[in-house]
Amino acid sequence: MRLTDHEKAMLDGAHGPAKQKAMDLLLRYGNALGAERLVETRNVAGTIGATTPFMRKFADERGGLDAVFSEFNLDSAEVVAIPPVEVYSSHLQQGIDPEHAAQQGVGEEVVRIFRKGDAYSAGLGVQLLNTCTPYQVGNLPARGEHCAWMESSAVIYINAVLGARSNAEGRESTGAAMLTGRIPYWGYHIESERRGTHLVELDMPIESMSDWGMLGYYVGDKVQDKVPVITGAGLAPSTLKLKHFGAAAASSGGVEMYHIPGFTPEAPTVEAAFGGNRPREVFRFGPRELRETYENLNATARDPDVDFVMLGCPHYSIEQIWEVCRLLQGKRVHENTQLWIFTPRATKQIADQNGYTRIIEEAGGYLMSDTCSALGRVIPQGTKVAAVDSAKQVHYLPAIMGIQAWFGSTADCIEAAVTGRWKGGLR
C-alpha cells in the first residue's frame, strides 16, 4: 500500500506505540483486501466495551481495559497505553443496561465494570451514544463523507440513505481508525463500487414495517453482499422503514449498500442507480416470496405461549415508542409475559420527558437502553418463546439463546405481550 509521510511516521512509531500498532493492523488489513491506500476519516463508530464474561475475564487477567483495547481493537498481544482518540468516535451498543441490571439478571459487579468501561471510553474521548443507531441520536454523516463504522445495520443506513461512505468495519479496524483517522480505501469508499448490481422488482405494494423487514430479509438472502436496486409502484419509504429494511438485508446476506430510485440520494433514476452496470440478475418479489420469507423468519416458532416480547432492534426511535404507547394504552402486560423495549439512552430521556416510560412501566413493561437481547444475551430468566417485530432480531436471537421466536408486526407483538399468546400471522 502507498502510505503518506504522516502514515509512515505513525507506522514507524513516531507517534507512540498505540498508533504504531494501529497502523500495523491497518496495513495488514488493507493488504488482505488488496487496497492501494488508506483514506482519511473523521467519523468512526465502533465498540471498545468489555462487559461480556469473556472480556471481563480477559481484562482481569491481562491488565485491564488497555489490554482489551490492545488485543481486541488493535490486534496486539503486547499491551500498549491507549491515548485519546484522534477523530470523532461514537460508541455502539453495549452488553447491558446498567439501569435495568436486576431485570437483565446482571450482578452489581458487572454494573461496576460497565461504569468503569464507560468512564474509560469517555476518558479516551469516545462519545457514549451506546446504540446500534448513532444516526438516530445526532451522528448523521454527510453525503460523500468517508466513515469507519461497525454495526451492519448502521453502515447500510449511512451508505444507502445518507450517501456517506463506509464499509462494514469490525471491532479491530474501528479501534485502529479511532487512533489514526485512517481506514483502507476499498469497497464502498470508491464511487464505482457503489453502483447497483442486482434488480429487485416488486409485484406487490410494500407498506407496513413488517413488509419492509421481510423484503429486506428476502433481498439480503438473494443478493448476499451485492448492491440491490429496488423498484416498484407506490413505494413510500420512511426513515423507520429503511432502518428496518436495511437491518434485515444486512443480516440475511451482507448488504451494505442499496438504491431505491427516486428516494435514496445516489439514485435519482434506475439508470443512475446502476451507473452503467447491467443487472446481473433480476428478482421479483410478490406474495409468494413474502409468504416464503415469513415462514423462514418463523422457522423456530412452534409454541404459541409467549414468555417474552422484545422490541427495539435496531434501537427504537421516539416515534416507535410513541406508537407502542398508543397500542398499550389502558392495557396490561400478561402475568406470564415480559415486555422489554430497547432504545438509545438519549431517546430514553425524551421518552421519560414525554411520559412514555411511565406508560410502558405502568402497563408492566420496561424501556431499556444501551444494549439489546441478542447482543447482551439478556432475556428474562426461563424464556422459552419470544416474540419480536424485527427480522434482524429473529434471525439472531433463537440461534444465540436457544429459544423459539415469533416474528410479526409491532401490533402482533403488543397483543402477545398483553394476552400471553401469539396470534400473529401474515395478512
Least distance to another protein from the beta carbon of 222, Å?
A: 12
By the rule CB under 8 A, 254 interacts with another protein: yes
Instruction: Closer to another protein by CB, 49 or 365: give it.
Output: 49
48, 168, 310, 333: which one binds another protein (CB under 8 A): 168
Instruction: Closer to another protein by CB, 49 or 424: give it.
Output: 49
Instruction: Closer to another protein by CB, 41 or 337: give it.
Output: 41
Between the alpha carbon of residue 167 and those of residues 127, 146, 147, 255, 385, the distances in Å are 21, 9, 8, 10, 35
67, 179, 250, 385: which one binds another protein (CB under 8 A): 250
The three cell numbers of residue 116 are: 468503569
Contact between residue 420 and residue 305 where contact means Cβ atoms under 8 Å apart: yes
Q: Which stretch binds another protein (CB under 8 A): 137-145, 229-237, 257-265, 391-399?
A: 391-399
**Beta-strand relationship, 308-311 and 338-343:** parallel
- Name which of residues 29 to 48 contact another protein (CB under 8 A): 29, 31-34
Dihedral sign for Cα 149, 153, 154, 158, please.
positive
Name 340's bridge partners. Answer: 310, 366
By the rule CB under 8 A, 101 interacts with another protein: no
Instruction: Closer to another protein by CB, 68 or 321: give it.
Output: 68
**Neighbour tally for 236: CB within 10 Å:** 9
Instruction: Closer to another protein by CB, 181 or 261: give it.
Output: 181
Burial class (CB within 10 angstroms; exposed 0-12, middle 13-18, buried 19+) of 278 = exposed
Counts for the chain of helices (H) and strands (E), in that order? 17, 14
Site string for another protein, 219-248 (x = CB under 8 A): -----xx-----------------------
- Name which of residues 257 to 296 contact another protein (CB under 8 A): 296
Q: Which residues are CB-neighbours of 235 under 8 A, at least 6 positions away?
A: 202, 206, 260, 262, 263
Q: Which stretch binds another protein (CB under 8 A): 263-271, 280-288, 330-338, 392-400?
A: 392-400
Name 50's bridge partners. Answer: none
Number of residues that bind another protein (CB under 8 A): 41
H helical segments located in 79-148? 108-124
Go through 191-208 and write b for each residue having 16 or more CB atoms within 10 A of its CB, e for each that does not.
eeebbbbbbbebebebee
Q: Which stretch binds another protein (CB under 8 A): 313-321, 359-367, 394-402, 411-419?
A: 394-402
Q: Which stretch binds another protein (CB under 8 A): 8-16, 304-312, 313-321, 397-405?
A: 397-405
Instruction: Closer to another protein by CB, 90 or 173: give it.
Output: 173
Instruction: Closer to another protein by CB, 252 or 337: give it.
Output: 252
**DSSP class of residue 387?**
E
By the rule CB under 8 A, 251 interacts with another protein: yes
CA nearest neighbour of 4 among 34, 26, 33, 32: 26
By the rule CB under 8 A, 370 interacts with another protein: no
Quote the CA–CA distance of 381 and 122 in Å, as a whole number.
32
Instruction: Closer to another protein by CB, 88 or 217: give it.
Output: 217
Instruction: Closer to another protein by CB, 297 or 318: give it.
Output: 297
Between the alpha carbon of residue 126 and those of residues 90, 129, 141, 190, the distances in Å are 6, 9, 17, 27
Least distance to another protein from the beta carbon of 353, Å?
A: 33
11, 25, 44, 160: which one binds another protein (CB under 8 A): 25
Least distance to another protein from the beta carbon of 205, Å?
A: 28
By the rule CB under 8 A, 173 interacts with another protein: yes
Least distance to another protein from the beta carbon of 19, Å?
A: 18
Q: Which residues are CB-neighbours of 168 under 8 A, at least 6 positions away?
A: 149, 150, 151, 152, 155, 250, 254, 256
- Interface residues with another protein (CB under 8 A) are 25, 28-29, 31-34, 54, 58, 71-72, 75, 150-152, 155, 167-173, 184, 186-187, 224-225, 250-251, 253-254, 296, 299-300, 374, 395-396, 398-400
